[in-house]
């Protein structure tokens, strides 16, 4: 059974159909690439899934239940996390505070009075980062002093720490160098191994081939089609994205290569 399904989703901005009858299923332990040229509707679709936009039509089904998200908090509470490049973190806070922001662990010495349990949060943060093989100078480092790749890793660790079922990543490696990209991709594989579903938006075909199980291609607000990553070449996939013609590829896989 799909962990998350979007069914016949519609989203209009004035006369423009940003999403037109889009349906996709997402499963546990699966990394799904959401692909398409600029303006295809990828970000709009994840904004619908993450509660930023309310769709004009269609349905979202999470764990077998029909759900409606009026705001991002509602999607978050239901277990859907979105990792944007930089936005999710507070620069002036350290790594521990970022990981627990709004969900701090508390300790009570006297009934009715509780304190943040900094020591426990710090220990847990260190353990989680170790488990995820994320290398940072210190958990006490301010996020503004970290590199782009380290910040991205902290944002992903924060999502993991919130025990979400679905993680959406919008171009997580777009601003990263080769070594940092490799680390983020390793992290994505770790999330998959933990049974999470990762929705991965990217324009980078190398990332797709490396970590994604399935590719959903969109164009002009419509879903063009889906294909298992191991059954298509990088070149053919790039061609489907540009032409929006998955059928032609299916009929003659070599024709569009």
Among Mg ion, ligand ATP, none, what does residue 50 contact (CB within 5–8 Å per kind)?
none
Q: Which stretch binds ligand ATP (CB under 6 A): 41-49, 79-87, 134-142, 185-193?
A: 41-49
Residue nearer to ligand ATP on the CB measure, 202 or 239: 202
- Give the helix ranges, DSSP H, for 6-89: 42-49, 72-77
Name the phi and psi angles at 17, rounded to 5. Answer: -90, 95
Residue 116 interacts with ligand ATP (CB under 6 A)?
Answer: no
Query: What is the total count of residues that contact ligand ATP (CB under 6 A)?
Result: 11
Reported in sequence order, the residue ranges of the chain that DSSP labels E, i.e. its strands, are 4-13, 16-26, 31-35, 57-62, 65-67, 80-83, 106-110, 113-116, 166-170, 197-201, 214-219, 222-228
Tokens (6 digits) for 5: 């399904």
Residue with Cβ nearer ligand ATP (39 or 225): 39
Task: Indicate which of ligand ATP, Mg ion, none lies near residue 219 (CB less than 5 to 8 Å, by partner kind).
Answer: none
Which member of 29, 39, 72, 148 binds ligand ATP (CB under 6 A)? 39
C-alpha span between 133 and 234 (Å, rounded) = 29
**Based on CB atoms, which residue is closest to ligand ATP, 39 or 126?**
39
Residue 244 touches ligand ATP, criterion: CB under 6 A:
no
Q: Of 18 and 156, which CB lies nearer to ligand ATP in the complex structure?
A: 18
Based on the shown chain and the rule CB under 6 A, indicate whether residue 217 belongs to the binding site for ligand ATP: no
Q: How far is the CB of 167 from ligand ATP (least distance, A)?
A: 17
Answer with the entry of ligand ATP, Mg ion, none that 41 interacts with (C-beta below 5 to 8 A by kind). ligand ATP
Partners of residue 198 on adjacent β-strands: 31, 167
Q: DSSP 3-state assignment of 34?
A: strand
- Where do contacts with Mg ion occur on this chain (CB under 5 A)? 43
With respect to Mg ion, which residue has the nearer C-beta, 160 or 221? 221
Taking every pair of Cα atoms in the chain, the longest distance, rounded to a whole number of angstroms, is: 73
Write down the least CB distance from residue 239 to ligand ATP, Å: 17
13 binds, among ligand ATP, Mg ion, none (CB under 5 to 8 A by kind): ligand ATP
Per-residue b or e along 38-68, where b marks 16 or more CB atoms closer than 10 Å to that residue's CB = eebbbbbbbbbbbbebebeebebbbeeeeee
Q: If 0-12 CB within 10 Å is exposed, 13-18 middle and 19+ buried, where does residue 252 land?
A: exposed
Closer Cβ to ligand ATP, 42 or 183, answer by number: 42
Question: 178: Cβ–Cβ under 8 A, 6 or more apart, which residues?
Answer: none
Contact between 54 and ligand ATP (CB under 6 A)? no
Distance separating the N- and C-terminal Cα atoms of the chain: 33
Positions in the binding site for ligand ATP (CB under 6 A): 13, 16, 18, 36, 38-44
């Amino acid at each position: 059974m799909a962990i998350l399904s979007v069914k016949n989703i519609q989203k209009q901005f004035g006369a423009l159909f940003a999403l037109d009858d889009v349906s996709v299923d997402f499963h546990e332990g699966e990394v799904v690439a959401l692909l398409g040229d600029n303006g295809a509707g990828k970000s709009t679709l994840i904004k619908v899934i993450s509660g930023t936009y309310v769709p004009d039509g269609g349905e979202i089904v999470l764990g077998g239940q029909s759900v409606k998200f009026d705001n991002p908090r509602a999607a978050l509470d239901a277990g859907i996390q979105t990792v944007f490049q930089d936005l999710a973190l507070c620069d002036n806070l350290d790594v521990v505070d970022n990981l627990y922001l709004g969900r701090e662990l508390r300790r009570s010495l006297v009934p009715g009075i509780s304190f943040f349990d900094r020591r426990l949060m710090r220990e847990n943060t260190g353990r989680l980062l170790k488990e995820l093989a994320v290398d940072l100078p210190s958990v006490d480092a301010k996020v503004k002093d970290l590199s782009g790749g380290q910040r991205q890793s902290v944002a992903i660790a924060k999502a993991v720490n919130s025990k979400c079922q679905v993680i959406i990543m919008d171009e997580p490696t777009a601003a990263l160098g080769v070594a940092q990209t490799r680390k983020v991709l390793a992290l994505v594989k770790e999330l998959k191994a933990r049974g999470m579903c990762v929705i991965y938006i990217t324009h980078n075909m190398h990332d797709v081939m490396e970590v994604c199980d399935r590719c959903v291609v969109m164009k002009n607000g419509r879903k063009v089609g889906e294909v298992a990553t191991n059954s298509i070449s990088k070149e053919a996939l790039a061609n489907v994205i540009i032409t929006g013609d998955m059928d032609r590829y299916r009929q003659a896989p070599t024709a569009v290569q």
